[in-house]
A and B are shown apart, each in its own frame.
Chain A
Amino acid sequence: MKKNTILSAKNIGIGYITGRNKIKTVHSNLSFELQEGELISLIGPNGAGKSTLLRTLSTSQPLLSGNLTFRGKAISSYSEKEISKNIGIVLTDKTQTGGLSVYELVSLGRQPHTGFFGRLSNNDHMIISDALKSVGIDHKSNSYMSELSDGEKQKAMIAKVLVQECPLILLDEPTAFLDVVSRIEIMNLLHKIASSQNKTILLSTHDIEQALILSDKLWLLSKSKGLQCGVTEDIILSGAMDSLFNKKDISFDTNHGVYYPNINWKKKIIVTASNETLLHWGINALNRHNYACMTLENDNTADYAILKINSRDNIELLNPNKISNNINSTKLQFNNFESFIDLL
């Protein structure tokens, strides 16, 4: 099913105006489209321009060149008030909201919709209660913001952006500074919001692991390659992830969806294991100790040491003299990785 395009950019230039007629261009030729109901993760190295791109999209930074349209109309034709009802943001900025209750903080998101004095109608109160429920902090609505954990604070800010009722939500590193549990909760929450409330959510993140699991699309932004967009799996399988950071000593493991430091291969070893998990962690241990691993027993098995991992407490090493010359036996038995690693 083809989804509606909400925002589209053609050859836009982004950057800063640093002074009179002085412009620092970060990227000069970006093109992309955002569709309704998608969760998109924007990833890339520090300084690639992720925040600049998000600020340009939220119109808090001027567009340097090109066409940026929101629902088919140039974004510059929207008034501040209209923007505030259509594009909501969540930042990592420090706020002075410790003295507000969670409910009061979330109600600030209604400001674009309320009148001169910001009085909340019954409808506003209903929207706020719903938002608090959907991010799962309705039981904290009477607490002070200062009493919340970092994860809960971020949920409150997400509730704030929800009551703004914007079809497009931009989040700048929403999971920075959070622990693992909160990071997973926040990403899962955003994923749920995007699909159930048909919102477009674009977030920048360094948490690639979670981004790969839950994003509908990935945007890779780097100085050298510009912006590469695509469905998460297409991007991963195209090998684009590998060149994102443009560093020789880091490479992307397509099988596991993680970046690995490149190993300085000094020695080779053959590894076999009774299941995938044991094989994975066996290779992990060996790689860390600079062993290149071969998983298939080929003809010249006699030239290499062979590690057979039968279970986590039954590890066999054949031809150990290929690893260490002063071992004479042809087979060693270990009952955990610790004793095997001691040998290396």
Chain B
Amino acid sequence: MNANNPSASVKRLKSPSQKGTKYIIILSILIVILFAMNLIIGSVHIPFDSIMNIICGNPVEKSSWNFIILGSRLPQGITALLCGAALAVSGLMLQTAFNNPLAGPSILGINTGASLGVAIVMLFLGGSISAGIFSVSGMFAIIIGSFVGSILVLGLIIFFSTLLKNNIMILIIGIMISFVTSSIISLLNFFSTAEGVHSYIIWGMGNFSGVSSEQLPFFIISLSLGLLISIILIKPLNALLLGNRYAENLGINITRIRNLLLITVGILTAVTTAFCGPISFIGLAVPHIARLMIGTSNHNILMPVTLLCGSVIALICNLICVLPGETGIIPLNAITPIIGAPVIVYVIINQRKIQYFN
């Protein structure tokens, strides 16, 4: 490291950004490999050169392979890639904005808000869209429900955050909101049909296969837009590390930035939740993994590393989900806590040694 280098202390600090660049390259390579593995691994064996041919648009021996790759594995890979990035970036922004390393879309209730919207659509309107998550019109209603739900919870959080200055209190209010929405969802479940409950439960387990190739463009555009706005927010996020009053003194309009930030988080969370279900722990744990890896809270580096790291984790999770092959797909929410929870426990136990806590 730089510590032994006598000239290191004189001029500007180079190590974190160099380390950041190194990790960005490693993570990008990992993403390419994992994405390829997502295309190769599945219940049906398809040779690698056939996959290449399909992607390049050349004809292959079996037309069903064409469908499996283009209609299932490719959209699923892209979904995992973007979902992971979106959730991780949302988590990072919430952690900085609420000045709390344990904030995340699920803890603040944004996830459950989206779930409530989805539950209302699936359970109340269950009769009219009985095909549930698999019909296009049903899917559209679910997206709307999810978006309205998460934006409503975000609105509530914004409202409370104008009343309360203490960020821990806001976090607790978020947890309370998610308790209330969960109990409303339970009540809805109680009064709804078995079919509706079944499709809601399947949706609630989470999976990356919910986005069809027709829905994919909307999915890509909305999440890319959200991720783009997050990149614009890098500079104010760095100022927010100092707290609101310092950030204000650096010329930042706190209310405007906070609203923009929460709307961005709303878009990212609502879209991923609508399509893939309420995925836990990626938003909470990935920013910590990224910070521990590069050793800095500087968003210039932390934001891209978190984004890529989220994609890597989501692709790994998706691979694990499809590993059983013919026996079926493991629910995503059975995998993410196994990866995420130990990270959070590690971070909490070691918080005295971890710089960004002190």
On A, residues with C-beta under 8 Å from B are 58, 60, 80-81, 83-85, 87-89, 91, 93-101, 103-104, 108-109, 111-112, 114, 116-118, 125, 128-129, 138-142, 144-147, 164
Chain B 225-256 per-residue mask, 1 if CB under 8 angstroms from chain A, else 0: 00000001011001101110110111111000
Residue of B10, B12, B241, B248 near A100 (CB, 8 A) is B241
Q: Are A164 and B356 closer than 8 Å at their CB atoms?
A: no
Q: Are A80 and B241 closer than 8 Å at their CB atoms?
A: no
Q: Are B13 and A142 closer than 8 Å at their CB atoms?
A: yes
Q: Are A108 and B296 closer than 8 Å at their CB atoms?
A: no
Q: Are A80 and B234 closer than 8 Å at their CB atoms?
A: no
Closest 5 CB pairs of A and B: A99-B356, A84-B251, A99-B297, A146-B358, A118-B235
How many B residues have CB within 8 A of the partner chain? 39
**Known contacts A96-B241, A142-B8; is-contact A81 B251 (Cβ 8 Å):** yes
The answer to whether B67 has its CB under 8 Å from any CB of chain A is no
The answer to whether B21 has its CB under 8 Å from any CB of chain A is no
Q: Specify which chain A residues have a CB less than 8 angstroms from the CB of B253 in the assembled complex.
A: 80
Q: Are A138 and B9 closer than 8 Å at their CB atoms?
A: yes
Instruction: Report Cα–Cα, A58/B357, bound state, in Å.
Output: 29
The answer to whether B258 has its CB under 8 Å from any CB of chain A is no
Instruction: Report Cα–Cα, A81/B236, bound state, in Å.
Output: 13
Q: Are B249 and A89 closer than 8 Å at their CB atoms?
A: yes
Q: Are A87 and B249 closer than 8 Å at their CB atoms?
A: yes
Find residues 139-180 in chain B having any chain A CB closer than 8 Å to their own CB: none
**Known contacts A80-B251, A103-B13; is-contact A93 B235 (Cβ 8 Å):** no
Residue of A84, A99, A103, A144 most packed against chain B (CB within 10 A): A99
Q: Specify which chain A residues have a CB less than 8 angstroms from the CB of B10 in the assembled complex.
A: 138
Instruction: Report Cα–Cα, A104/B298, bound state, in Å.
Output: 8
Q: Are B8 and A111 closer than 8 Å at their CB atoms?
A: no
Shortest C-beta distance, A222 to chain B (Å), equals: 25
Shortest C-beta distance, A342 to chain B (Å), equals: 48
The chain B residue sitting closest to A125, CB to CB, is: B12
Instruction: Report Cα–Cα, A118/B236, bound state, in Å.
Output: 9
Instruction: Report Cα–Cα, A293/B354, bound state, in Å.
Output: 58
The answer to whether B96 has its CB under 8 Å from any CB of chain A is yes
Shortest C-beta distance, A95 to chain B (Å), equals: 5
Instruction: Report Cα–Cα, A49/B128, bound state, in Å.
Output: 63
Contacts A/B (CB < 8 Å), 23 sampled: A88-B249, A91-B243, A96-B96, A96-B241, A96-B243, A99-B298, A99-B354, A100-B297, A100-B298, A101-B13, A104-B16, A112-B251, A116-B232, A117-B235, A118-B235, A118-B300, A125-B12, A140-B9, A141-B9, A141-B13, A142-B2, A142-B8, A142-B9
Shortest C-beta distance, B15 to chain A (Å), equals: 7
Q: Are B96 and A99 closer than 8 Å at their CB atoms?
A: no
Residue of A83, A91, A142 near B246 (CB, 8 A) is A91
The chain B residue sitting closest to A139, CB to CB, is: B9
Residue of A99, A114, A144 near B291 (CB, 8 A) is A99
Instruction: Report Cα–Cα, A93/B298, bound state, in Å.
Output: 19
Q: Specify which chain A residues have a CB less than 8 angstroms from the CB of B234 in the assembled complex.
A: 117-118
Instruction: Report Cα–Cα, A129/B241, bound state, in Å.
Output: 21
The chain A residue sitting closest to B96, CB to CB, is: A96
The answer to whether B99 has its CB under 8 Å from any CB of chain A is yes
Q: Are B356 and A96 closer than 8 Å at their CB atoms?
A: yes
The chain B residue sitting closest to A55, CB to CB, is: B245
**Known contacts A108-B238, A118-B238; is-contact A95 B251 (Cβ 8 Å):** no
Q: Are B249 and A58 closer than 8 Å at their CB atoms?
A: yes
The chain B residue sitting closest to A85, CB to CB, is: B251
Q: Are A60 and B9 closer than 8 Å at their CB atoms?
A: no
Q: Specify which chain B residues have a CB less than 8 angstroms from the CB of A164 in the assembled complex.
A: 250
